[in-house]
A and B are shown apart, each in its own frame.
Chain A
Amino acid sequence: AQKITQTQPGMFVQEKEAVTLDCTYDTSDPSYGLFWYKQPSSGEMIFLIYQGSYDQQNATEGRYSLNFQKARKSANLVISASQLGDSAMYFCAMRADTGKLIFGQGTTLQVKP
């Protein structure tokens, strides 16, 4: 069975500082993909970054990077140089061989000026 866990319901970060959002996962499939999405208060889901289970390097997309530790089954999102517009809910998601895409509980990030 697949499972995604985000243990931080809420996080605060000062503007221009970096922040790490935690995500752990569980699956018995050797091939899987991990995703992070951002959901602002308006409700839309915005794709941020992807990491494949066979990728050797950690994924990066602009200010977003994914700290992938396969042995520990963790896929933490790092946001560098936080901006006020980063305030939103962030979801970690996983898709394994079954094709189901499941999400974690989410973390609400608030960026302080």
Chain B
Amino acid sequence: EADIYQTPRYLVIGTGKKITLECSQTMGHDKMYWYQQDPGMELHLIHYSYGVNSTEKGDLSSESTVSRIRTEHFPLTLESARPSHTSQYLCASSEFWKGNTEAFFGQGTRLTVV
């Protein structure tokens, strides 16, 4: 059973609002990831982190920002939400590049910006 949690599961918010999507894991994993996924489409890597105080941009350009102040916590923030940000956001974690360690995923946050 994966111990990685995302809140909220669903969020409907108005344009221009600031939002933070929470992601926490209790497995002590160094690597954490954020993906953006539209329904029925591929997962796009938007941010990842090697560990505390490390954040990197992924392959898909995103207006969101992330922080990694604690190992277990990797929040994603949108300063001013727009309808184009409507999507599902998936958080994942894994041990730092160690053989066959798979990434564990949270349940996702479905964001709708109206």
Which listed residue (B40, B59, B104) contacts A102, Cβ 8 A? B59
From A14-22, A67-75, A92-100, the one touching the partner chain is A92-100
Task: Say whether B45 faces chain A, with CB atoms less than 8 Å apart.
Answer: yes
Question: Does B42 contact A106, Cβ atoms closer than 8 Å?
Answer: yes
Considering the complex, give the chain A residue whose CB is closest to the CB of B49.
A99
Task: Say whether B90 faces chain A, with CB atoms less than 8 Å apart.
Answer: yes
Instruction: Decide yes or no: A50 and B102 within 8 Å by CB, A91-B42, A99-B96, A102-B59 being known contacts.
Output: yes
B96 to chain A, nearest CB (A): 7
Number of interface residues of A (CB under 8 A): 23
Task: Say whether B75 faces chain A, with CB atoms less than 8 Å apart.
Answer: no
Interface residues of A, dominant DSSP: strand
Across-interface contacts of B48 in A (CB, < 8 A): 99-101
Across-interface contacts of A103 in B (CB, < 8 A): 35, 42-43, 45
Question: Does A47 contact B104, Cβ atoms closer than 8 Å?
Answer: yes
Chain A residues with CB under 8 Å of chain B are 33, 35, 37, 43-45, 47, 50, 52, 89, 91, 93, 95, 97, 99-106, 108
Among all A-B residue pairs, the 6 with the closest Cβ atoms: A45-B105, A47-B102, A50-B100, A103-B43, A105-B42, A99-B97
What are 18 pairs between A and B in contact, CB < 8 Å?
Answer: A35-B103, A50-B102, A52-B99, A89-B40, A91-B43, A95-B97, A97-B97, A99-B97, A101-B45, A101-B48, A101-B103, A102-B59, A103-B42, A103-B43, A105-B41, A106-B41, A106-B42, A108-B40
